[in-house]
Amino acid sequence: MSAIIDGRPVVPGGGSLRPLGIGEVEITGGFWGDRQVVNSSATIAHCHDWMERLGWVGNFRAAKEGRLPQDRNGVVFTDSDVYKLMEAAAWESGRSDSKDAEARFVDLAQIIASVQESDGYLNTVFGRPGQPGRYTDLEWGHELYCYGHMLQAAVARARSGTTDLFVEVARRAADHVCETFGRGGIERVGGHPEIELGLVELARLTGEERYLNQAALFVDRRGHHTLADIHRGRSYFQDDVPLRRQEAFTGHAVRALYLAAGAVDVAVETEDEALLETIIEQWEHTVARRTYLTGGMGSHHDGERFGDDFVLPPDRAYSETCAGIASVMLSWRLLLATGESRFADLAERTLYNVVATSPAPDGRSFFYANPLHQRVPGAVPSPDAVSNRASSSLREPWFAVSCCPTNVARTFASLGAYLATVDREGLQLHQYANSRITTSLDDGRRVGVEVTTAYPNDGRISIRVTETGDGPWSLTLRIPEWAAGTWLIDQGTRRSVGPGNASLERSFAVGDQIELELPMAPRWTVPDPRIDSIRGCVAVEQGPLVLCVESVDLPEGRDVGSVRVDSGQALEVKGDMVVANGRLVDVDDQRWPYSDSGGVSTSIDSPVHMVPYYRWATRGPATMRVWIPTDGSAADR
């Protein structure tokens, strides 16, 4: 690890906790380490290859050579995918010193820098002869959205240790945005939030306050009908009601969550307690009533949007991968602001069950939508085909709208920065991964720990102190909300700790061992009865993982629709599966599927095997379900 790398996507000027970056937290293996290796060795190149092949990188070359608009390829916001790839490459270069990632970043930066206009404007869709004028389509044009990702990529570059050309490009673009959209300029917002996040972080990086002020303007301007009343309504892009007056996240899920994350950044920098409190209340409402068991958000395919409270149908779950990533970004910011473990709890749930579900084990195909029930086995996509549909039934190599793969890539490359923090008292571990953590406390003392674990396949987490200054400090460990009955073993003393933050405050010595034993027995989970679409069903969870039934584990010819489980009986672990007692039911076809009896059915007793949801569809086409109808007592209410 390089000592000079800051390596943090988010560096708040205030709040409860100070994040540690990829220069201080090295993931060394295990569940997340494996994914970082695949991301580095396959996904980043895969994304880059597709964007070359489809001409999305070529759009910048065409701009340089005066071949636009005739040679423009892809949807209106493909520039943003190139920026997200650059962000991934920047973190990867900083994290692993990857020469491959470094070369990709530098090449792309050179092409892009060469097409920036003298006033800082940079976009491949607007402003040239034959193209629509700049900012003539704020509803759908995505210019500000693209800048947001450009700014985040530049911040990643600078915080990975290199302040070069691209950081200057981003500054010029940000200056241009402030000049164009400041007071007295175009007093409107863009249809897709994201610029807010980029501007605040660039302000934090450079100390340039006008970027922060512009982000605050964008946050408060939204909701005042500066965008047109489109067919989906202004709620689609959160322009119907000012953010401060919303009760829950609504509209397009990724838009809503990026906006909320940017608003937290603004609130923290401007010490706007009321705004922070509003976002926390919206988060609480959304988590309590609009979130899938997986942590997934957004239940409507139409408009990729949040449904009303308790509209969470498993088979129609949209749960876009990007919405999961945006939710992790928001939770991380709220954790830093408050220090409250509930935000890390949701981040963990979402990372394991949405973000980790998206990429195939080889890192070369992806889920865009993440439904909790697949009724029809999917068709194996061609490795050469671009999917025009987000709701594909198996992981696809690429999409016409390909926001998700590059979002996964940048998240995995920077994942080390989401594990640990420090505050005045000591070091906090929020997510458990094989890792080496070394940092300085606020008083300058050096501390370090090494975390070793097979989590989430095993609940034992060993933490060895590798560095410590004199005198006491506190080591705080997050106990997940599902982990009642966790044991904490310190210097031979064993004590039970409840969910929340468990702190050890004492003088440590190098070599001290602290162990956590999280209860990993599989457990039945019963939904709130107001979620009508899964009433009478149960799910199984194990540690942070949501499990599912897949048809490949059923007798030949059987479909997951025939499965019933007895939730009154205990679950058993067999190898890497969990087994429940249950039945397989045959229902006779009827001419009309409604009657006084519900139809005739027969059944046979059968064990029901379950696997982690993140692994589903890695063994070929299958039907799958998370929520299973029960014969037992747990869901009878």
Q: How many residues contact Zn ion, by CB under 5 A?
A: 3
Residue 603 CB, nearest approach to Zn ion (Å): 40
Residue 407 CB, nearest approach to Zn ion (Å): 6
- Site stretch for Zn ion (CB under 5 A), options 147-155, 163-171, 244-252, 402-410: 402-410
Spatial contact of 327 and 344, defined as CB atoms under 8 Å apart:
no
How far is it, in rounded angstroms, from Cα 574 to Cα 607? 11
Spatial contact of 626 and 531, defined as CB atoms under 8 Å apart:
no
For residue 261, CA distances in Å to 238, 264, 280 come to 14, 5, 11
- Site stretch for Zn ion (CB under 5 A), options 319-327, 359-367, 546-554, 616-624: 319-327
Nearer to Zn ion, 341 or 407 (CB): 407
Residue 77 CB, nearest approach to Zn ion (Å): 11
How far is it, in rounded angstroms, from Cα 106 to Cα 480? 41
Give the dihedral sign, CA 126/221/321/624: negative
Neighbour count for residue 618 (Cβ, 10 Å): 16
Spatial contact of 8 and 20, defined as CB atoms under 8 Å apart:
yes
H/E element holding 474?
strand 472-479
Sequence-ordered list of residues with C-beta below 8 angstroms from that of 277, at least 6 positions apart, any chain: none
Nearer to Zn ion, 80 or 581 (CB): 80
Nearer to Zn ion, 322 or 580 (CB): 322
Residue 347 CB, nearest approach to Zn ion (Å): 18
DSSP conformational letter for 29: E
- Site stretch for Zn ion (CB under 5 A), options 99-107, 346-354, 404-412, 564-572: 404-412
Of the candidate residues 200, 322, 329, 514, the single one contacting Zn ion (CB under 5 A): 322
- Site stretch for Zn ion (CB under 5 A), options 22-30, 314-322, 391-399, 523-531: 314-322
Residue 146 CB, nearest approach to Zn ion (Å): 15
Would you count residue 329 as binding Zn ion (CB under 5 A)? no
- Burial level of 324, CB count in 10 A (0-12/13-18/19+)? buried
Residue 128 CB, nearest approach to Zn ion (Å): 28
- Site stretch for Zn ion (CB under 5 A), options 258-266, 397-405, 483-491, 495-503: 397-405
Nearer to Zn ion, 192 or 342 (CB): 192
Of the candidate residues 403, 449, 526, 584, the single one contacting Zn ion (CB under 5 A): 403
Give the dihedral sign, CA 351/357/361/362: negative
Binding mask 49-88 for Zn ion (x = CB under 5 A): ----------------------------------------
Sequence-ordered list of residues with C-beta below 8 angstroms from that of 482, at least 6 positions apart, any chain: 499, 523, 541, 543, 544
Strand pairing category for 472-479 and 426-429: parallel
Q: How many CA atoms lie within 13 A of 325 on its CB side?
A: 26
Of the candidate residues 404, 417, 441, 514, the single one contacting Zn ion (CB under 5 A): 404
Nearer to Zn ion, 7 or 405 (CB): 405
Residue 254 CB, nearest approach to Zn ion (Å): 6
Judged by the rule CB under 5 A, the positions of this chain that interact with Zn ion are 322, 403-404
